[in-house]
Structure 1
Amino acid sequence: MTQLATARWPGIANTPRTPLKARIAKSILQPTVNRVPVRLTFADGTSWGAGSPGSPEMRVVRPKAFFARLGADTKIGFGEAYMAGDWTTGEGTDLADLLTPFAERMSTIVPVPLQKFRVFVDKKLPHAQRNSVEGSKKNIEAHYDLSNDLFAQFLDPTMSYSAAWFESAEQDLESAQLRKIDGILDQAGVTEGTRVLEIGSGWGALAIRAAQRGATVTTITISTEQAALAKERFAEAGVDVDLQLVDYRDVTGEYDAIVSVEMIEAVGEEYWPTYFATIDRLLAPGGKVSIQAITMEHHRYLQTRNSYGWIQKYIFPGGLIPSLDAIDHTLAEHTSLAVTDRRSLGQDYARTLREWREAFNAHWETIHAQGFDETFRRMWEFYLAYCEAGFGVGYIDVFQIQIQRPDAHTSKEA
């Protein structure tokens, strides 16, 4: 490791010294891998796994460090070991393809008798990552304010950082992102004259599309970097959008349509009641809401909602994925709203993530020149591939969810 890497990535540069835990991790991993159609190979020629010669290969470069990280922190150590270069993919193996068999078996990969020890493995979410008004700003800045130029290297021209919605295998990412945006706007009933509130501006693509429909658009964000570029994009598109640097809890007014794309994951379970109650307070009579939300099955959400993982440590501090049941329950308990329609874009997200990762790798030299180092590259590659595998096998999903007041929906149907 270089001195720069040591200063920037102390948890990666310094290998944990946990010989007993390392031996335990090794004793658990071997029988686990032997049930998965992959090959885990070592420099001495030994190999584990149930895979054939053509199966995805995981090459353990530094076994001692790999097992030490896995033993020290099971949930975080695997990703950290990839960041450190303790393991990598074999020649011709795509990282997402390697992670997919593990994602398919996520619920059963740990033997049932050992699952009762989960309480001793899971770390609780750090208090510092609570999504209070101050905490939310810090959490958002940690990811979205990295660099607009970084995101421009792998996102499509709309700068949409969420699942696209592909109509066909031939459709390109940009038009699939516009289709996704139109799906949200249609679900929220946005037409000429609609008063629209967008919670979470991103880099402005949805606000631009809504304004082009003739809507009166207010969009809010707490990311100063995103806001600066979004304003430039509004000017280039020739649209009038009211962009406010404000937390969702502090918004006032009344809106016919409220939209929010992959924002709820950054809200935190503690604040879901506040988030949805705020939407309820701001929604005009007869209005519609459309949110795009990453979800997981309810039993998985219950198992993981209080645990701290690699994604939260390195990518999305304060992040938590809800279940559809959790959303329904929060709406019922804290609002006058209910879900009235939804559609899944899970497989579309897997494809979106693969295209992002391919673009990220293709433009790595430009990204590297912006000041991002090799550890960052491996972190970002693992993040994109890890998520792609999860969506690809359905371990996680993403939905466009329409929400209304049931009386308004019923009267319209009648």
Structure 2
Amino acid sequence: MTLAPTRPTHAWPGLEAVPGGPRTAVSAAVARRLFRSAMTRLPLSDDAITVHRPDELFARLGRDGLIGFGEAYLTGAWDSDDLTGFLTVLASHVADLVPRPLQRLRGLTQHRTPTAHRASRDHARDLVAHHYDLSNNLFGLFLDETMSYSSALFDTSTELGTAQRRKIDRLLDLTGVGPGTRVLEIGTGWGELAIRAAARGAVVRSITLSSEQQVLARKRIAMAGHADRVEVDLCDYRDATGEHDVVLSVEMIEAVGHEYWPTYFTTLDRLLAPGGRVGLQAILMPHDRMLATRGGYTWINKYIFPGGFLPSARVVDELTATHTSLRVTDRLSFGPDYAETLRRWDETFLARADDVRALGFDETFLRMWHFYLCYSRAGFASGYLDVQQLLLTGEA
């Protein structure tokens, strides 16, 4: 299914006006030359991208870089019959899209993270709500029956729900969750991990900042018969208390923000009982790209995950060594599985487009969500991004 080009309505005020003025005229001319050079150098077919309104594309690209490039897709200024394939080529060459001599000027042109998008105690709940409180019904349209919104771990089974349970069970096995285990889950999702931990006899406290997730997670946990073993609380991870045998966190570190990574890891250390184990699932990016983009403001930040930023495997090792007694003692990489998970989410989302509209979301939102899923899938398909399950234990 191809989404029709759309011009945004008043619901998207930042997209209504195309940037203009002398500064934009200069930057658009530069963007046009760089874009044409990149399209010539990259292994792309002539029809990889269809530009409907070139003046708008280059005005947005020149003025706002990759944010503008994504916004030009939202407005229908450009399109692609194979959006994921096109974005995968870009992701494979992301370090060289702009000639290296010009990369020295990144600091002059890169947008910086707004203060309101830093995941402090004052802002964290609003940042989480921007995405996760959109609508439980929306997520239910494209997720599988486990309501898992993180990478599945595929094996011989091709069923997404089976692969999601396999991912969770591996993390529970890795950390030794069983009868009587005191588990803290940081980032509830919609409750599947807590349900499966409780089914093993564990006692679980799960914390989230999403009121929508809390409501549905509690409902799903009760329906599974585990309300007596699981608490789901609205709580910032920094305010969590108690002593736990196992601390679990699946794809939550991405929302912490690089300024707060030391706090995050010291909190994990503080909450862990002696001899305890931490199980993390984390999306990771290359260390050099993390350093180059740290503090920047991206299309994903503006439209999907405000305040989010991905760590590298190296920075996890460095932070735990510097700030905690924890060390990574087991690591599983399964980035291609995330590309497959995202492919399935996107195909289901597009197939349910009419149902998305029925929930009150417009055509611009449909293009935004499709772009987000394809953009993310391209990161994993190209090998630029990885997802790993990590076991952290105290120093012997």
Q: TM-score range by the shorter chain?
A: over 0.9
Out of 49, 55, 67, the position equivalent to 1:76 is 67
Match of 1:6, SS state, is: coil
The answer to whether the 8 A contact 2:146-2:192 is kept is yes
Match of 1:198 in 2: 185
Out of 370, 373, 376, the position equivalent to 1:387 is 376
Identity %, equivalent residues: 53
Higher RCO, Cα 8 Å, sep 6+: 2
Write the letter of the residue equivalent to 1:308. Y
Pair 1:352–1:400, CA change in 2 (3 A): same
1:62 matched to 2:49? no
Match of 1:401 in 2: 390
Match of 2:303 in 1: 314
Match of 2:172 in 1: 185
Match of 1:49 in 2: none
* Inter-partner Cα distance in structure 1 for 2:97 and 2:111: 19
1:302 matched to 2:291? yes
Match of 1:245 in 2: 234
Match of 2:32 in 1: 26
Q: Where in structure 2 are the equivalents of 1:241-280 lying within 5 Å?
A: 241-280=230-269
The answer to whether the 8 A contact 2:8-2:75 is kept is no
Match of 1:8, SS state, is: coil
* Inter-partner Cα distance in structure 2 for 1:104 and 1:348: 18
1:231 matched to 2:218? yes
Q: Where in structure 2 are the equivalents of 1:5-404 lying within 5 Å?
A: 5-17=8-20, 18-39=24-45, 57-89=48-80, 93-168=81-156, 170-240=157-227, 241-404=230-393
TM superposition shift of 1:4: 10
Match of 2:41, SS state, is: coil
TM superposition shift of 1:30: 0.7
Residue correspondences, number: 388
Match of 1:291, SS state, is: strand
- What TM-score, normalized to structure 2? 0.95
- What TM-score, normalized to structure 1? 0.91
Match of 2:86, SS state, is: helix
The answer to whether the 8 A contact 1:40-1:59 is kept is no
TM superposition shift of 1:345: 1.7
* Inter-partner Cα distance in structure 1 for 2:17 and 2:43: 32
5+ unaligned residues in a row in structure 1: which ranges?
42-56, 408-414
1:60-86: CA deviation from partner (whole Å, max 9, x where unpaired): 011111111111111201110000000
Match of 2:198, SS state, is: helix
The answer to whether the 8 A contact 2:276-2:393 is kept is yes
1:174-224: CA deviation from partner (whole Å, max 9, x where unpaired): 000000001111111111111100000000000000000111111001100
* Inter-partner Cα distance in structure 1 for 2:76 and 2:8: 13
Match of 2:9, SS state, is: helix
Match of 2:366, SS state, is: helix
* Inter-partner Cα distance in structure 2 for 1:397 and 1:199: 21
TM superposition shift of 1:39: 3.7
* Inter-partner Cα distance in structure 2 for 1:98 and 1:28: 17
Which segments of structure 1 move beyond 6 Å, counting only runs of 4 or more?
none
* Inter-partner Cα distance in structure 2 for 1:40 and 1:370: 37
5+ unaligned residues in a row in structure 2: which ranges?
1-5
Match of 2:281, SS state, is: strand
TM superposition shift of 1:324: 1.0
* Inter-partner Cα distance in structure 2 for 1:129 and 1:377: 24
